[in-house]
Amino acid sequence: MAKGDTTKCLVIGAGPVGALAALYAARRGWNVEVYELRGDLRDDSTTPLNFTKSINLALSERGINAMRHSGSDQLLETVLSQTIPMYGRMIHGKASSRLTEESQQYDVHGRYIRAVDRAELNKLLLDELENLPNVKLCFNHKLTGADVRKRKAWFEQHVSRTQTADGAQADQDQNSSRSKEIEVDFDVILGCDGAHSNVRHHMMKSMRMNYEQSYIDTLWCEFTIPPASSATKATPSTRDGFATSPNHLHIWPQSDKMFIAIPSTDKSFTCTLFAPSADITSLEKYPDGFLPFFEANFPGAADLVGRAELRKQFAENPHLPLISIKCSPHHYGSSGVILGDAAHAMVPFYGQGMNAGLEDVRVLFEHLDAHPPNIQGRTKALEAYTTERVPDAHTINDLALANYWEMHAGVNSPLYLLRKKIEEFLSDKLPATGFATQYSRVSFSNQRYSEVANTVARQGRILFSGMILTVLLPAASWAGWWLWRYQRSSHSTIKAAQGFTGLTMLGERIGRMFT
């Protein structure tokens, strides 16, 4: 945007996507106000919206690239210094009575994704924002209404903070502050307020938005593997105080369920159980069956968590659903935009939820930068953003859902592993072919998600054709040769010979090749 742009921007939601969006807007000279329902997200006492820690996220190229273009020179370097590289999946299983670990690299070229602490990432982004003079952070503010036509928003302040005589912060009476509502004007409002977005809800009152929400028949529950100690067991890949390899995303796969673990910088692992709702309901009803269920399906995992702690965490941590949301468009006129989960909440099986949201920010501001800094220019920019982003958002939603099969079943599928090896071989040894695995395109490139899907589908057709030719061509060659030899040695009638004319001609050509 041009210097001197006085655009007033409200960012609703101070999570990673909202904080980065506010940073992009502020770097362009906009007057930015960030409103967050919860307290300061840098405060350890602030409860996450889903009431779980969920401290670990997978950061890949799309999210990294979005921060690379944020205009904050040291931000990305600082963030990356707080991450742990994960070079592949570690598949846990059992052979006879022996526990097994099998490493499957993510990328033939050695590229990797990074485990990042969500709270630490959020803190770094908010700290960066707080240092900018044109940014105002407003915590404990609930959006109660928004009119994108009149460009007005209303907020209810849940808890107000006052300064005491000794300089400490104290809460005023919460009941008296709840009725306090403020009205705020804006030029553009950015909805970064999650799957159950209030911004999206109020935008839908002023426009025709197609909206699709669905749940899969799987629930999830969070667990923690503590750092390695004498109190818990460790796997053979344990290193540097971690109970198992710190440089892998760990998976205990089953046909319809799985248990995963992602490393943290404090040497623990944040783990998630994904299982059909019927299984979870049964375990809730009959808790004595939990440990036998866990040991039968995820061998060795209970020893890493600790058996007593495993039961305790299952009883205390919530068992939550997985939601998928698609909507279109992602904007209204020149005044409203939704980003991240507000626009495309997805199941977590590709690790792209946060990365896609951060990429939304980069794409949005690329379009804004390409148009004049006025209402007409912003209208065209937001239209272009929706045109580009909707098909990509729908695609990654579908890919994330499909990747559930890959994570709990595909990792043990010979056909899936064969295709992966062929594509990696071609990518490594014959790069001119342009082949690459779907995972590497999604996680290690900035190619549009919709283009990834089209490219991978084309690769699949080529590989399938090649496999068919590999099987059928030798068979056809043998059959042609046999018919050619048969005709030469037999005295069959002309009518019979004419019946084989087509095959005979093919056989003659092939026969000459072998004689």
Judgement on whether residues 139 and 269 belong to the same structural domain of the protein = no
pLDDT at 396 over 90: yes
d(CA 319, CA 262): 19
pLDDT in tens, 147-182: 999 999 999 998 644 434 444 445 544 444 455 899
Torsion of CA 439, 443, 449, 453, to 10 degrees: -10
Judgement on whether residues 298 and 360 belong to the same structural domain of the protein = no
Q: Are 246 and 239 in contact (CB under 8 A)?
A: yes
How does residue 422 score in pLDDT terms, banded at 50, 70 and 90?
A: confident
Q: What is the DSSP string of 144-198?
A: EEEETTTTEEEEEES--EEE-TTS-EEEPPHHHHHT-EEEEE-SEEEE---TT-H
User: With 0-12 CB in 10 A as exposed, 13-18 as middle and 19+ as buried, what is 376?
Assistant: exposed
Residue 123, domain extent: 8-85+114-212+327-403
Q: Are 275 and 218 in contact (CB under 8 A)?
A: yes
Judgement on whether residues 306 and 397 belong to the same structural domain of the protein = no
Which pairing describes strands 8-12 and 188-191: parallel, antiparallel, or unpaired? parallel
Angular region, 240: left φ>0, alpha ψ -120 to 50, beta rest: left
Q: Would 60 be classed as within a structural domain?
A: yes
How does residue 47 score in pLDDT terms, banded at 50, 70 and 90?
A: low
Q: What is the pLDDT of residue 153?
A: 97
Q: What is the pLDDT of residue 474?
A: 61
When mean pLDDT is compared across 83-87, 180-184, 262-266, 432-436, the lowest value belongs to: 432-436
Domain ends where: 271, 303, 320? 320
Q: Would 435 be classed as within a structural domain?
A: no
Q: What is the pLDDT of residue 515?
A: 38
Q: Are 335 and 148 in contact (CB under 8 A)?
A: yes
d(CA 225, CA 244): 9
Mean pLDDT within 351-378: 97
How does residue 191 score in pLDDT terms, banded at 50, 70 and 90?
A: very high
Mean pLDDT within 334-349: 96
Tell me which DSSP letter residue 492 carries. -
Q: Which of the pair, 301 or 465, is modelled with greater confidence?
A: 301
Q: Would 52 be classed as within a structural domain?
A: yes
Domain ends where: 344, 376, 403? 403
Judgement on whether residues 191 and 299 belong to the same structural domain of the protein = no
pLDDT at 263 over 80: yes
Judgement on whether residues 282 and 303 belong to the same structural domain of the protein = yes
Q: pTM for the full model?
A: 0.84
State percent of the chain over pLDDT 70: 80
Q: What is the pLDDT of residue 423?
A: 73
pLDDT in tens, 94-124: 998 899 999 999 998 999 999 999 999 999 9
Judgement on whether residues 231 and 280 belong to the same structural domain of the protein = yes
Q: Would 312 be classed as within a structural domain?
A: yes
Helix (H, G, I), strand (E, B) or coil at 88: strand
Tell me which DSSP letter residue 137 carries. E
pLDDT at 495 over 80: no
Q: Domain total for the chain?
A: 2
Judgement on whether residues 13 and 26 belong to the same structural domain of the protein = yes
Write down the H helix ranges in 28-74: 61-68
Q: What is the pLDDT of residue 163?
A: 38
